[in-house]
Amino acid sequence: MPLWVVAAGLFFVASIVLSQYAHRRVQRGDWRFGHLVFAERLLIYGVVLAGGLVMSLDRPIVGIPLTLGALIMLGMYVHSGMAIARAARAGKTPDEVAAELLDRSVEPLALYGVLVLVGGFLAVIGRIVFGVAERLG
């Protein structure tokens, strides 16, 4: 087995353990670890971003939307982490932080959903057009 596969697996497991530890600390009211609750998501978004960038070289129709989607999700991750850090400094309760995060994440998630649906629709239409052009030409 290649070394990079073992290293990636260990890093993924470590990020999950770190996230669970942070989650328990936050449940106890220690908000200093709030931004680490999403640690495994950062790894996943990074892998998707790297895959999109690599795929953009060979298949830009697939790679560019994948890269854009990963960048949007990374932006939302950073936004959520900053909101948790602000809430930690303000000394808010877990319910107040959850309400604040929900209020701040509804619009970006709706926008992301629309982008995914429109992008998927355009990809299907593009595939049909390319298929027809290939058969005719």
Number of domains in the chain: 1
Report if pTM > 0.75. Answer: no
Determine the structural domain holding residue 118 and report its residue range.
3-136
> How far, rounded to the nearest angstrom, does the alpha carbon of residue 81 sit from its chain's CA centroid?
12
Q: What is the pLDDT of residues 102-127, one digit of tens each?
A: 776 677 677 777 877 887 788 889 88
Residue 135 CA: distances (Å) to CA of 59, 104, 128, 131, 132:
20, 48, 11, 6, 5
